[in-house]
Structure 1
Amino acid sequence: MVAIFESPRVLLGTEGMKLGPTDWLTIDQKRIDGFAEVTGDKQWIHVDSERARTGPFGTTIAHGYLTLSLVNLFLPEMVEVRNFSSGVNIGLDRVRFLAPVPCGARLRGVGEILTVEEMKGAIQSIVRVTVEIEGAQKPACIADTISRYFSEP
């Protein structure tokens, strides 16, 4: 479910608002292998299914940074801000990887607006995105994302 804000200013005062959840996304070996190819991280626990069967997780697992990159997919599925001239991804305040993502797992994002403030002619928000693993006790990843929205000129 997407929360829609008609302007960045409407975000002011929404601290604590829960966002999502997004749809589930299956993490298959093709996605893991593609990420390994573009990043050069071809460690066997990610790309060698046969060896991984006898490894610590019993299967290949997604890269932590692959899991983190999905925050960029999930965030716009949870929150949409309209009527601004430009938006900038400032970065992340805090990132934690709490559980491995086995090949075949399904992930989704849930969020919470932590802070919203006026800053340098813009509205800046920090949204905590939690990447959940279906059926798991712990999430895969928690990341505090920082976005800045500049008003229309």
Structure 2
Amino acid sequence: MQRASFGHMQCPIARSLERVGEWWSILILRDAFYGLTRFEQFQTSLGIAPNMLTRRLKALVEAGLLERRLYQQRPPRHEYVLTEKGRDFRPVLWTLLAWGNRHLAPEGASVELVEPETGELVDPVVVDRRTGRLLTEGVRVVPGPAADARLRRRFGDGINL
């Protein structure tokens, strides 16, 4: 069954899913944050078929989230390193980790985030970069300057979240 493409949609969530919405992609990015860079490392960590890993790595490179770098000439071998765009995905992973611990781990957390200097647990949240205000409620989704007529009709004056 052919997967639908969301790349043509104006919605930033749909466009994001087009790049990282396939579960292997998010797990590859997770492992890249954990320091893995080589094909064999990703394959061992994930237990993924080589052909699937090849496709996902290629897609992440094409999306600009990973950079493919030659680390050995003979035979040619490459590593996959997070780009700035890829590193910018870190807060998404952190909040996904926290959400999973909070709602999907009845046995308790298997992985946690801690402050490096103190060892105290970190609880990631989403805040407004400009004001530092915690964004749990009280925001409004409005059409942006590049919104097409369809999005302008859909959101009108905005939707309170």
TM-score, length-normalised on structure 1?
0.28
Structure with the bigger RCO (C-alpha within 8 Å, sep 6+) is 1
Higher strand fraction (1 or 2): 1
Question: Which structure is larger by alpha-carbon Rg, 1 or 2?
Answer: 2
